[in-house]
A and B are shown apart, each in its own frame.
Chain A
Amino acid sequence: MLKSLIKIILILLALLPFGTELKAAEIRVPENYKTITEAVANSLPNDVILVNDGIYNENLIISTPLSLKALKGPESTIINANDKSKHSITVLKTTDVAISGFSITGSEKSGIFVSNSSNVTLTGNKTLYNNIGITLSHSTNNTLKENEANHNIGYGIYLDNSNGNLIENNSASRNEDKGFFVSMSNENTIINNNVNLNAWDGIMLWSSNRNIIHENRTLRNTYGLVISESTENDVADNTTLPNIFIIMPIILLYLGIISYWVQKNILRLIYK
């Protein structure tokens, strides 16, 4: 009797984790912790850290699955690299991290550096005035959506040995070197991004194979799209020179001719 009772209790104990899900905690900055670094250090896996507006002078290192969200968006929630020689945010050897809605600036390395990680989602961030806006290094199956990686000294978005990532609806413009630099990275999907006004290349693929590059706009870069030592990439429907850049000057030249004709006839009436 006692044995069977113990058995039933053990079975119930074994089933307990399946019946009750552990709920992710919400941590608020600066209400619960003054800094994001403290909040990250005291978080458990899958917690959600909600950050209120303000300027945070920090270098974050995230190595557990969690969500980091700016409540009031990138205009008023700024992470400024405290130590400029380090990345502003480092996501290191982890999975299932989401970062959204921050302005990230002031690093002489990368604004966001994702290393040896997977299933990281970066959404709606602005990485401005860093050396590199966003770097994915040895990372797979990550998603970058609606981020702005503009005005950086080197590259806007840099993929180094990173495969199977989705990079969609981002902007990498006005960088002092390249907009996108995809180096030794395969099977990534780069779709519908704005990559304009970069000092050197818009999108550069080097030693990268089987990537999908569709519907990107690469305007007024020195070179729009450069593919070197790469094979089997699917490149289609990218815009490097819209028709307006050809049509508008021709229309204006015609208007100039019409303007000459009109002026000539008016002056003829005056100086008969």
Chain B
Amino acid sequence: MFEMLKIFSSVPMVLAALGLILATSSFISGLQLTRGANIIEGKIHRYNGFTSMSLYLTLAVISMVDNGIRFVPLMAWMTGLLIILTKLWIVRKKRRRRAYKYVSWIGGTMILMWLYLVIIHIPI
């Protein structure tokens, strides 16, 4: 157990872990929201979603400060951000019902993105 807790010795790992927890909460509440409007689910979804987005941006900044700005990592961070912004854009344009159908898929992609961020930040 102590060995397992040692992996939280780095700030990026803690941020990535928090990000995955919040993104999971946001994803579940988002799935509930697609069934129908609910004030509680809406608040959980928005609060967790925006906090996890802030953590994502913080992790990106820490990575670039630590490792410098390199092409491949920069493109990877930009792709992740593009997925998040696409999701926000679809949700805000609710009239685009055809795109709205696929919003849960984008939510699922973001969970996978956070899983990758957690795995990549587990210290060796």
Contacts and interface: CB of A to CB of B under 8 A. Distances in A.
Are A and B subunits of one complex?
yes
Interface of A: 194, 196-197, 217, 219-220, 244-245, 247-249, 252-253, 255-257, 259-260, 263-264, 267-268, 271
A263 B7 contact: no
Contacts of B22: 256, 259
B20 A267 contact: no
A37 B48 CA distance: 63
B24 A263 contact: no
Contacts of B113: none
A259 B21 contact: yes
Interface residues of B, number: 25
Interface string B2-42: 01100100000000010011111101110000000001110
Contacts of A220: 124
A267 B47 CA distance: 12
Interface in B37-78: 39-41, 43-44, 47-48
Contacts, number: 67
Given A253-B24, A256-B20, A256-B24, A196 B124 contact: yes
Contact of A264 (B7, B23, B40): B40
B44 A267 contact: yes
Contact of A268 (B28, B40, B47, B119): B40
Nearest to A267: B40
Nearest to A241: B119
Contacts of A244: 3-4, 7, 122
B118 interface: yes
A256 B25 contact: yes
Nearest to B41: A264
B115 interface: yes
5 contacts: A249-B115, A252-B24, A257-B28, A263-B25, A264-B44
